Amino acid sequence: MATTNLDSADLKAVLAGGLIREDVMDQIFDISDITLEFTTRAGKATHDNSYSEWTSDKRQAPNLANKVVDGADITQNDTQVGKRIGNHGQISVKAVQVSSRADASDVIGRARESAYQIMMRGDELRRDVEAISLSGQGSIADDGATVAGQTASVFAQSSVNKNLGAAGTIGGFNTGTKLFPAVGLGTKRGVTETMLKNMFQQVWQGGGEGANVLMSTPGVIRQIADFFFTSGAHIATLVAPARTGPLPRALSTCGKRSSAPWSSWSRTDCSLTLRRLSGISCLAISTISNYRSNAVMKPNYWPRPVCRKSG
């Protein structure tokens, strides 16, 4: 603070609160993580009653021995009726209470406080639905008194394609109680590549669509991502090509030029894969981008194509 002139310190010291206006950006930065990876991919429907039902059926597996003699009488009956399943609704709430004076106030970052609060609490409700859907909770009937209705999560309904630790249970729909029991947690164990591949295969064979998305907690996803770049992972692996002539020793790929022999290329930069199409074996080069393999060069672009006719 100067002693002979009026400075900003003097203005700040004026009772009560000073004379300098606050310098606040008229904007709100939302730093919450509210990505809804599951519910944005899931199908949508509505229901009117607290308990909603549907029917499910499935086709029988292919029968390779399905043949009859010409003119034979039909004695079998292959009709199926499927099953009837239901789930209870769950009411989730977020309360917003804003006074008329607060709603009319000139506040930072929003035009009306009530509208802002409704928007934020609505986003939180959507996040609640996401978390509930991916939990292990089962369904509970609302008794209208002390027990709130509870909807069964996706995992409580996934009684077919499952991979659980010891003592883990997914009972599926109980036709007697008309409820889905909660998931019984099994013994903790480490995730393996075999587990993931088995589940992807089971989902695909069971008629599931979009079996190319892996969802888990951030910690698990990080461990899986780290594994993808270890020597035991089955991606971006260097594969020696079958060839009759020499390979070029220098090739511009992955954003840089290498003059080293093929066998010494870094596996974290590029992957060499041998592809066989219609009897033709060709060497293709790919680069890893977000765990996708994107071809960056085709054999016919090379000065000397490295393809050979099999046989």
- Among 28-32, 62-66, 73-77, 89-93, whose mean pLDDT is lowest? 28-32
- The pLDDT score that the predictor gives to residue 300 is 39
Task: State whether 169 and 194 are in the same domain.
Answer: no
The reply to whether 199 falls in a domain is: yes
Q: Give how many domains the chain has, as a whole number.
A: 3
Could you tell me which residue, 225 or 168, shows the higher pLDDT? Answer: 168
- How far, in Å, CA of 268 to CA of 255, rounded? 13
Residues forming beta bridges with residue 289, ordered by sequence position: 292
* Same structural domain, 230 and 277: no
Same domain for 139 and 168, yes or no, is yes
pLDDT of 245 strictly over 50: no
- Specify the pLDDT at position 237: 46
For residue 6, what are the CA distances in angstroms to 3, 14, 154?
8, 12, 68
- Out of 234, 262, 293, pick the residue that ends a domain: 234
Q: Mean pLDDT over residues 237-244, rounded?
A: 46
Whether 284 is in a domain gets the answer yes
Last residue of a domain, one of 172, 206, 234: 234
Residue 3 lies in a domain: no
Quick: pLDDT tens for 155-207: 999 888 888 899 999 989 999 999 999 999 999 988 888 888 888 888 888 77
Which domain range does residue 277 map to?
251-309
**Residue 278: pLDDT band by 50, 70, 90 thresholds?**
very low
128 part of a folded domain: yes
Residues 225, 137: one domain? no
CB 213 within 8 Å of CB 40: no
State the average pLDDT over residues 83-103. 94
The mean pLDDT value of the chain amounts to 76
- The Cα–Cα gap between 40 and 8 comes to 52
Query: Does one domain contain both 107 and 194?
Result: no
Cα angle value 216/217/220 (rounded, 5°): 85
Return d(Cα 110, Cα 107) in angstroms, integer: 6
**Judgement on whether residues 128 and 90 belong to the same structural domain of the protein:** yes
Last residue of a domain, one of 148, 163, 187: 187
Query: What are the angstrom distances between the C-alpha of 36 and each of 32, 128, 139?
Result: 12, 10, 22
Same domain, 213 and 272: no
Q: Is the pLDDT of residue 70 over 60?
A: yes
Number of C-beta neighbours around residue 166 at 10 A: 8
d(CA 288, CA 269): 7
C-alpha distances (whole Å) from 30 to each of 33, 34, 123 are 9, 10, 11
Is the same domain home to 103 and 141? yes
pTM for the whole structure? 0.66
User: 284 exposed, middle or buried (CB, 10 Å; 0-12, 13-18, 19+)?
Assistant: middle
215 located within any domain: yes
Residue 73 forms part of a structural domain: no
Q: How far apart are CA 265 and CA 111, in angstroms?
A: 58
Residues 126, 22 share a domain = yes
- Residue 138 domain flag: yes
Q: Which runs of consecutive H residues, i.e. helices, occur in 158-303?
A: 193-205, 218-228
Q: What share of the chain is helix, strand, coil (3-state, %, to 5)?
A: 20, 15, 65
**Per the domain annotation, does 46 fall within a domain?**
no
The residue with tokens 């060839």 is: 243
Contact 236, 268 (CB under 8 A): yes
pLDDT at residue 69 is higher than 90: yes
151 and 295 belong to one structural domain: no
Same domain, 32 and 168: yes
The reply to whether 114 and 16 lie within a common domain is yes
